[in-house]
């Protein structure tokens, strides 16, 4: 019985493939439409994943600048250095004496004139500290702790850009979600209509099948297979579009990364994301077919 | 096998097709149903296969009341019945063999069993040599035989035929009646609706006569 059931499903599966192959242009067109529709949100998702991993790399060691008081002595610098060693959240630090800071300022093209006209060095000694902390809350706590040291005049860290980036990523995520929702509905609608037309052309077959004892699930099966197969084909198309797109962008990025001397290559869709994409697209096709079948089959009752 | 008790069928437009019909067909019996067109023959046959539902009354098939059958149970009732439709209801986009295969695919037969049964059914109606042709190329008599093959391929216990000799000449009609008798001889309950008086002349089988929705004595 189970064997017969499996054979039935196998038969319907291959019969559906044959039916798709029998009208290749129509099939290819709707598969392409579905592929493009799916590739838009998925593409943006991939770009955001990439952006997030890049920002993660940068944000993994946020930078804090400590400015000592103007009159800080050599001993004060040593004391601060000693304290920094004791703080566990600090990965490493770099001391920038005020003379070095001034030299840098003088070499900086835009500020050469200003620096040359200074009567005395207005810059304090400074430390640049890298920490393990990521969130702006924990960074703020660290800042307050350091601020309380007597030798420190000012502590500064730039958390604003992390916040901005996170806000931007959040925005991007909701754009992806909205696009995905809208385009999923569009795909369901396309499938609904495709199946509706098929049901109309197969009216006689459905009616006769019902008359000689076909169950509803038997009649539904080929349409559901059709929806799922077309959906998964759309998913594969979207996957190919994205892979080729990333390939092309990476080719464009190579000279850019050489010019700017940092190495960024866009990551492809992960295996897990690829499987999710295919399963989701199959489900969308199936769902569109299921809704269509539920809406149209009951209208065909044998008389 | 088939029992009707006080069965009435009134259509939504008010037309009464059957009026308080009582009827009993024994297992293995062969029964003719006659009457003018519009007398309710087709309606009665359709009630048996739950294609139409009665307005009132009880219809029992093998002891099962089908007047109150749930929609999901209807397919399984129809698989017990072989129905030969007045308008054939053949699939014109499938060949002869595939048409006969359909009831077996519906009942989840495996491919090998289904193919050999379909060929056996086609052999019984002498259409085996034409299994690959499309129904559109068949003559009227051949189409009727194809319908019969499709109706018996799943070995139903009840065979119902609605005007099976409708537009056929006398020789063809005689062949087809001989087929029904042979199915009846192997135990199938056969119910044939016809207005063709020549079929009924020398039959020993019971004849039920419908007049304006009522069964005449």
What would the DSSP string read from start to end of A51-94? Answer: HHHHHHHHHTS-EEEEEE-TT--HHHHHHHHHHHHH-TTEEEEE
Task: Tell me which chain A residues have a C-beta less than 8 angstroms from the C-beta of B102.
Answer: 208-209, 212
A213, A294, A297, best to mutate vs chain B, most B CBs in 10 Å = A213
| CATH classification (class only), A63-158 | alpha beta
Q: Number of Cβ pairs closer than 8 Å across A and B? A: 57
Task: Tell me which chain B residues have a C-beta less than 8 angstroms from the C-beta of A205.
Answer: 91, 93
Q: How far is CA B55 from CA A268, B18, B20, in A?
A: 65, 9, 10
Tens digits of residue pLDDT in A168-208: 888 888 998 999 999 999 999 999 999 999 999 889 899 99
- B210 or A109: which leads in pLDDT: B210
CA–CA separation, A225 and A283 (whole Å): 11
Q: Is A214 on the interface with B (CB under 8 A)?
A: yes
Asked if the Cβ–Cβ distance from B111 to A7 is below 8 Å, we say: yes
B88 to chain A: closest CA residue:
A208
Q: What is the structure's pLDDT at A109?
A: 60
Q: Is the pLDDT of residue A88 over 90?
A: no
Give the CA count within 13 Å in the CB-facing half-sphere of B78: 28
Place of tokens 């391929």: B153
Q: Cβ distance B47 to B17 under 8 Å?
A: no
Tens digits of residue pLDDT in B91-140: 998 999 999 999 999 998 888 899 999 999 999 999 999 999 999 999 88
Q: Which among B92, B108, B150 has CB closest to A5?
A: B108
Q: Is A218 on the interface with B (CB under 8 A)?
A: yes
Q: Is the pLDDT of residue A7 over 80?
A: no
Q: Cβ distance A222 to A12 under 8 Å?
A: yes
Helix H segments across chain A? 2-22, 24-59, 74-86, 98-107, 112-116, 136-147, 160-201, 203-211, 216-260, 271-296
Structure-block tokens of residue B77: 């009732």
Asked if the Cβ–Cβ distance from A213 to B111 is below 8 Å, we say: no
Show me where the domains of chain A are located. 10-58+163-299, 63-158
Q: What is the structure's pLDDT at B32?
A: 93
Show me where the domains of chain B are located. 1-80+159-175+189-210, 87-155
- Residue B149: its H or E element: helix B140-152
Q: Is A2 on the interface with B (CB under 8 A)?
A: no
Mean pLDDT, all residues of chain A: 85
Provide ipTM, 2 decimals.
0.91
Tens digits of residue pLDDT in A10-50: 888 888 888 888 888 988 998 999 999 999 999 989 988 88
Q: Is A201 on the interface with B (CB under 8 A)?
A: no
| Residue of A71, A68, A52, A72 lying closest to A60 (CA atoms) | A52
Q: What is the structure's pLDDT at A57?
A: 62
| Residue of B36, B43, B34 lying closest to B15 (CA atoms) | B43
CA–CA separation, B69 and B50 (whole Å): 8
User: Which CATH number fits the domain B1-80+159-175+189-210, given the four candidates 1.10.3720.10, 3.20.19.10, 3.40.50.300, 3.30.465.10?
Assistant: 3.40.50.300
Q: Cβ distance B191 to B205 under 8 Å?
A: no
Residues 1-40, chain B, touching A (beta carbon < 8 A): none
Structure-block tokens of residue A24: 């290749």
Q: What is the structure's pLDDT at A263?
A: 67
Q: Is the pLDDT of residue A83 over 90?
A: no
Helix axes A203-211, B96-106, angle to 10 degrees: 60
Q: What is the structure's pLDDT at B60?
A: 94
B13, B77, B106, best to mutate vs chain A, most A CBs in 10 Å = B106
Task: Tell me which chain A residues have a C-beta less than 8 angstroms from the C-beta of B89.
Answer: 204, 207-208, 211
Lowest mean pLDDT among A55-59, A135-139, B2-6: A55-59
Please state the pTM of the whole predicted model: 0.76
A3 to chain B: closest CA residue:
B110
CA–CA separation, B211 and A57 (whole Å): 91
Asked if the Cβ–Cβ distance from B106 to A1 is below 8 Å, we say: no
CA–CA separation, A124 and A146 (whole Å): 16
């Amino acid at each position: 019985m189970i064997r017969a059931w499996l054979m039935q499903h196998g038969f319907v599966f291959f019969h559906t493939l044959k039916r798709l192959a029998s009208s290749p242009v129509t099939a290819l067109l709707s598969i392409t439409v579905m592929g493009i529709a799916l590739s838009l949100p998925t593409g943006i998702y991939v770009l955001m994943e990439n952006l997030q991993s890049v920002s993660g790399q940068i944000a993994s060691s946020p930078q804090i600048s400590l400015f000592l008081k103007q009159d800080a002595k050599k001993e004060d610098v040593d004391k601060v250095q000693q304290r920094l060693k004791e703080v566990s959240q600090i990965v490493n630090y770099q001391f920038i004496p005020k003379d070095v800071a001034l030299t840098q300022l003088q070499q900086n093209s835009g500020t050469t004139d200003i620096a040359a006209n200074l009567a005395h060095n207005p810059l304090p000694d400074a430390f640049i500290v890298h920490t393990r902390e990521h969130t702006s809350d924990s960074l703020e706590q660290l800042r307050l702790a350091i601020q309380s040291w007597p030798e420190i005049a000012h502590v500064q860290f730039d958390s604003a850009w992390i916040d901005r980036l996170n806000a931007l990523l959040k925005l991007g995520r909701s754009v992806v979600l909205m696009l995905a929702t809208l385009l999923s509905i569009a795909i369901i609608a396309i499938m609904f209509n495709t199946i509706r037309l098929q049901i109309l052309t197969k009216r006689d077959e459905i009616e006769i099948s019902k008359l000689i004892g076909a169950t509803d699930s038997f009649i539904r099966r080929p349409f559901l297979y059709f929806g799922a197969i077309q959906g998964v084909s759309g998913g594969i198309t979207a996957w190919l579009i994205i892979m080729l797109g990333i390939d092309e962008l990476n080719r464009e990025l190579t000279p850019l990364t050489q010019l700017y001397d940092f190495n960024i290559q866009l990551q492809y869709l992960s295996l897990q994301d690829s499987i999710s994409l295919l399963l989701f697209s199959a489900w969308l096709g199936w769902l569109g077919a299921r809704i269509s079948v539920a809406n149209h089959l009951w209208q065909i009752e044998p008389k | 096998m088939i029992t009707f008790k006080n069965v009435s069928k009134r259509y939504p437009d008010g037309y009464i097709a059957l009026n308080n019909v009582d009827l009993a067909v024994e297992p293995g019996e062969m029964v003719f149903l006659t009457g003018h067109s519009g007398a309710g023959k087709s309606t009665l046959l359709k009630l048996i296969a739950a294609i139409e539902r009665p307005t009132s009354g009880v219809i029992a098939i093998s002891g099962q009341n089908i007047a109150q059958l749930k929609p999901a149970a209807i397919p399984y009732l129809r698989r017990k019945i072989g129905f030969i439709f007045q308008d054939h209801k053949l699939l014109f986009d499938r060949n002869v063999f595939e048409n006969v295969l359909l009831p077996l695919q519906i009942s989840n037969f495996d491919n090998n069993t289904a193919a050999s049964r379909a060929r056996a059914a086609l052999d019984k109606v002498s259409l085996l040599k034409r299994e690959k042709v499309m129904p559109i190329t068949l003559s009227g008599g051949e189409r009727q035989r194809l319908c019969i093959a499709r109706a018996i391929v799943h070995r139903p216990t009840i065979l119902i035929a609605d005007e099976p000799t409708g537009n056929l000449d006398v020789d063809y009609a005689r062949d087809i009646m001989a087929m029904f008798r042979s199915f009846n001889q192997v135990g199938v309950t056969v119910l044939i609706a016809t207005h063709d008086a020549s079929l009924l002349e020398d039959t020993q089988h019971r004849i039920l006569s419908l007049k304006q929705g009522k069964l005449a004595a």
